[in-house]
Chains A and B, each alone.
Chain A
Amino acid sequence: GNSVTQMEGPVTLSEEAFLTINCTYTATGYPSLFWYVQYPGEGLQLLLKATKADDKGSNKGFEATYRKETTSFHLEKGSVQVSDSAVYFCALSERGAGGTSYGKLTFGQGTILTVHP
């Protein structure tokens, strides 16, 4: 079956520090990969995605590269802000018969990030 493993949290950083949240996956097929973020009091929202090997997803200064050889999709940001404090979820989606992902996501357990001023 499919599974996603994220680094254990919580992660606490000072503003402007470098962030890495590790994510590795196991999949029976060739999945699409996602990072979702949940800010306090809000619903989950898509942060970035990558659909094939070596693709780099990026948004709001965050980046992650689809590494098929190491089955990883680590999230990075060069300089975090207090407003980045949230829970981050790595997820994968298997492709359906048509070759696209239909939204049946397998999530990691989430990593709580707290950024202090």
Chain B
Amino acid sequence: GAGVSQSPRYKVAKRGQDVALRCDPISGHVSLFWYQQALGQGPEFLTYFQNEAQLDKSGLPSDRFFAERPEGSVSTLKIQRTQQEDSAVYLCASSLVASGELFFGEGSRLTVL
């Protein structure tokens, strides 16, 4: 499809497990973002890539969170040793140029038991 694609859509993990969430942005989009959305809240910024360069990771909540975009296209958000407070919807967004007009995927819902 032509939109931002995220997988898996749903992930259940036991506390302490590592998880990896994938984002396939719109083809040709230079900028890629990850946001975290807790239940009943607005999305919160995690990190930003321009091509393969991670230019802003100020929103990553701890060193258990790691994101990469090695070839400037697909991105992976990895969470190590998951905790219950990591339960949220993780949103990926991309844009053609650096602006506030983002195209969002449907998100990956992570539940940590």
A interface vs B, CB < 8 Å?
A: 4, 32, 34, 36, 41-46, 49, 89, 91, 93, 96, 100-110
Contacts and interface: CB of A to CB of B under 8 A. Distances in A.
Interface in B35-72: 35, 40-45, 48, 56
A109 B98 contact: no
Nearest to A32: B100
Majority secondary structure of chain A interface residues (helix, strand, loop or mixed): strand
Contacts, number: 73
Interface string B61-86: 00000000000000000000000000
B87 interface: no
Given A102-B98, A102-B99, A105-B100, A43 B107 contact: yes
A44 B99 CA distance: 16
A14 B101 CA distance: 31
A101 B99 CA distance: 5
B31 A43 contact: no
Contacts of A108: 42
B106 interface: yes
A43 B1 CA distance: 14
Contacts of A103: 31, 33, 48, 93, 95, 98-102
Contacts of B48: 102-104
A107 B31 contact: no
A87 to B, nearest CB: 9
B60 to A, nearest CB: 13
A114 to B, nearest CB: 16
Contacts of A110: 40-42
Given A103-B48, A103-B95, A43 B104 contact: yes
B4 interface: yes
Contacts of B103: 43, 45
Contacts of B25: none
B28 to A, nearest CB: 16
A4 to B, nearest CB: 7
